A and B are shown apart, each in its own frame.
Chain A
Amino acid sequence: MSWLDRLRGRPLPRETAKQRLQVILVHDRSNLSPGLLEVIKDEIIAVLSRHVPIIAEEVRVTVTQDARECRLVADIPLGNRHSRS
């Protein structure tokens, strides 16, 4: 019942369906499963850590898309010892 969902502050089935589809299609189109993205992330962390200090737990590797074009985006916060002490 959607009005019950509303009362409980849950997203509407329509919104949930759209969000799920968007995530599913990003992975379908790019041929990158969520599991594979985790593997890629770990390897990026391993390689970069040899050269620069990074904050491993805050690294995000995602696939984004613009119309039908997919893009692999890695957001890697650098660990700066001086400012983060």
Chain B
Amino acid sequence: MSAQVITVTSGKGGVGKTTVTANVGMALALAGRKVVCVDADIGLRNLDVVLGLENRIVYDIVHVVEGRCRTRQALIRDKRVPTLHLMPAAQSRDKSAVKPEDMVRICEELRPEFDYILIDSAAGIEEGFRTALAPADLILLVTNPEVSAVRDADRVIGLVEAMGKPVPKLIVNRLKLDMVRRGDMLDTSDVLEILAIELLGVIPEDEQVIVATNRGMPVVLEERSPAGQAFRAIARRLMGEPVPMFPSEDGQGILGWLRRLVRSGGGR
């Protein structure tokens, strides 16, 4: 077994990197894969909270880097989904505490024991960004369908290219289907045409995400949540299953379900 290292990144902050990392990680684990989610947002750790594992942290990634514990000791195993693990970030340090070569070394150590290593990167394009990207086999670029987020995503694509890393795959998060229908919001097709990279998934806006985060229970655990279903679809695509991106207009799947829901509720 040699894990695939997947780094989740974005240009703009607040577009949902941590939510994507937690939910895709958990969806892969629910499918029986051995997963470790690594929080690379040193100083602003949050992945532990979204996963609901904040009370179980003893050691973090900086302890590993400084040799104060073994790599395995910093891993927290999720009791709900035992194949899911978290390596938390340090909260009291800054981004310079983990260097790109440290991240590469940690991933090399973890690779033999896992199927997937998901790295939640820091926002922005400074040092922390390079650290999170250094070991990546695959890069997931998260954006919202908004002008500022898409602009910053474009910048990240250029930087990733300059680093000689593979072209990122796109996740459009928080798409509001009713706004798209009214012509008030960029659609996925607009974002794709502008960024010209491959689409991995679209997450519809879903209040359940906030409820789930409040509870520390990632939304993929909610069978009926539209966002949860979208995250499971992304996980299946990562595992190589051909899951249709856009089920035929008003057809099967979550988007069709959402379209029908919006139509019946909107009355327009």
Contacts and interface: CB of A to CB of B under 8 A. Distances in A.
Interface of A: 2-3, 6, 12-15, 17-18, 20-22, 24-25, 28-29, 67-68
Given A29-B154, A29-B158, A68-B196, A18 B190 contact: yes
Query: What are the 6 tightest A-B residue pairs by CB atom distance, in nearest-first order?
Result: A12-B183, A14-B183, A2-B182, A18-B190, A13-B184, A2-B183
A15 B183 contact: yes
A62 B243 CA distance: 41
* Chain A CB within 10 A, most for which of B180, B186, B193: B186
Interface of B: 146-147, 150-151, 154-155, 157-158, 180, 182-187, 190, 193-194, 196
A25 B151 contact: yes
Contact of B187 (A14, A24, A28, A29): A14
Nearest to B151: A24
A13 B182 CA distance: 9
Given A22-B194, A25-B154, A25-B194, A14 B147 contact: no
27 contacts: A2-B184, A6-B183, A12-B184, A13-B183, A13-B185, A14-B180, A14-B183, A14-B187, A15-B183, A17-B146, A17-B147, A17-B185, A17-B186, A18-B186, A18-B193, A21-B147, A21-B150, A21-B186, A24-B151, A25-B151, A25-B154, A25-B194, A28-B154, A28-B155, A29-B158, A67-B196, A68-B157
